[in-house]
Amino acid sequence: MRKELIVAALATIALLVLYNGQEQKGDAFADWKSQYGANWGAEEESYRRLIFERNLLKIERHNADESQTYKMGVNQFTVFSDDEFAKLYLNPMIASEAPQNVEETELPHLIGDVDWTTKGKVSGVKNQGQCGSCWAFSATGVMESWSLMKGTSVNLSEQQLVDCSRSYGNQGCNGGWPYNALKYAQNSGMASTSEYPYVAKDQTCKKTGGSFKISGYNSYSGCNGLQSQINNSPVSVCVDASNWSAYRSGAFSNCRSSINHAVLLVGIVGGNWKIKNSWGASWGESGYIRLANAGSSTCGVCSVAGVVPK
C-alpha cells in the first residue's frame, strides 16, 4: 500500500475514534459492499474501506450541523475520493464552446413554483454509469419531456448520441454539449433505447438516425431566461456538480464555479431550482436535487444558456 494511504489511514482512524467516542458500530462498509455487489482484491478493498470511512465521517459531521440546509448520505459514490469521482463522472465544459449564435427567445419574467414531474411531463430517472455522458442524458431528457408535452412518451438512446454525434463536437464518454446532441437529433433523427441500448462506454456508431426528430432548438440565457421558460417546459442546463456526490436531500448551495455536468431543470419548488440528474434513482431525492435560491446561479445553473427543442 502506498505510503500516503498509510498516513491517511492512520489519520482517519484517529479521527473516527475521536468522533465516535470509541463506540462500536456495525460494519457500514460491509453493508455497502453487499448492497452494491462490490468485490475487490485485498489491497484495493483496504483502500476503498479507507475512502469509505473518511467519507462516512464527513457525512456524519455534516448532518450533525443543524445550520446546514441539506443532508448528505451514503450512496454509490461513497467509496470514491473527490478526484476519482470527478474523473469518472464529471467533465470540464469549456464556456467558449457553449451555445453560440443560436436563437434566443425573450419571455416575460415570471416567478412562481412549477414542477413538471408532478404534471407527468418528465421521463424516468436514468443512470449514466461510469461514462461522462451526462450531456447525452440531459439532451434525451429534454427531448423526452418535449415529446411528453405533445402527448407522446419516448425513450431515446443516449448510447446513439455517445457513439454517433462526434462530428457535432461531442466526445462520447469524455464529454459533450446537450445543444450539439439536439443538432444531431435535428439532422439525423434519434433511435429509441430499445433499438440502441445503453452500455456506458464508447463504441463505433451502430445505427445512424431514427424516426424521432426535432426541427431545431431555442436557448434561454441567464436566470431570468430560465425562470421564464421553466413555466413552459423543462430545460436542458449545465452546472458545477463537483460537490454533489454525497447529496441526499434538501436545498443544496455548497457549489463551486466550473461547469462540468449537464442535467435537466424540471421546475422551481419552494423557491429552489429542481433538477433531474442522471446518477440513478437511489441518489439524492429519488434522482433529483434542489439547488438553493431560484433566480440565482447556484452551482452555475444560469451561466450557460439552457436549451429546449422545437
pLDDT digits (tens, 9 = 90+) for 37-55: 999 999 999 999 999 999 9
Give the contacts of 262 (CB within 8 A, at least 6 positions apart).
93, 134, 135, 137, 138, 139, 177, 178, 236, 237, 238, 239
Q: What is the pLDDT of residues 55-112, one digit of tens each?
A: 999 999 999 999 999 999 999 999 999 999 999 999 887 554 555 434 444 444 445 6
Q: What is the pLDDT of residue 14?
A: 46
Give the contacts of 146 (CB within 8 A, at least 6 positions apart).
214, 233, 308, 309
Q: Is the pLDDT of residue 18 over 50?
A: no
Can you point out the beta strands (E) in the chain? 70-72, 114-115, 217-220, 235-239, 247-252, 261-269, 272-276, 288-291, 306-309
Cα of first residue to Cα of last residue in the chain, in angstroms, is 55
Strand partners, 239: 261
What would you report as the CA-atom Rg of the chain, rounded to the nearest whole angstrom? Answer: 20
3-class secondary structure, 255:
coil
Average pLDDT over residues 32-39: 93
Q: What is the pLDDT of residues 118-131, one digit of tens each?
A: 999 999 999 999 99
Q: Domains of the chain, with CATH numbers?
A: 3-67 (no CATH), 88-309 (3.90.70.10)
Q: What is the pLDDT of residue 93?
A: 73
**Residue showing cell 421558460:** 229
Q: Is the pLDDT of residue 279 over 80?
A: yes
Q: What is the pLDDT of residue 256?
A: 86
> Between 47 and 21, whose confidence is greater?
47
Average pLDDT over residues 184-192: 97
Question: What is the C-alpha to C-alpha distance for residues 88 and 98, in angstroms, rounded to an integer?
Answer: 22
Catalytic residue annotation: 134, 261, 277
Q: What is the pLDDT of residue 100?
A: 43
Q: What share of the chain is helix, strand, coil (3-state, %, to 5)?
A: 35, 15, 50
Q: What is the pLDDT of residue 2?
A: 52
Total residues belonging to the chain: 310
* 116 band by pLDDT with thresholds 50, 70 and 90: very high
Lowest mean pLDDT among 10-14, 195-199, 219-223: 10-14
Question: What is the C-alpha to C-alpha distance for residues 290 and 212, in angstroms, rounded to an integer?
Answer: 31
Prediction pTM value: 0.88
The proportion of the chain whose per-residue pLDDT surpasses 70, expressed as a percent, equals 85
Q: What is the pLDDT of residues 224-235, one digit of tens each?
A: 999 999 999 999
Q: Could you give the C-alpha distances from 215 to 27, 212, 220, 265, in angstroms and in order? A: 54, 10, 17, 21
Q: What is the pLDDT of residue 120?
A: 97
Average pLDDT over residues 174-202: 96
Contact 160, 140 (CB under 8 A): no
Q: What is the pLDDT of residue 99?
A: 53
Give the contacts of 6 (CB within 8 A, at least 6 positions apart).
none
Q: What is the pLDDT of residue 125?
A: 98
Q: Is 190 exposed, middle or buried (0-12, 13-18, 19+ CB in 10 A)?
A: buried
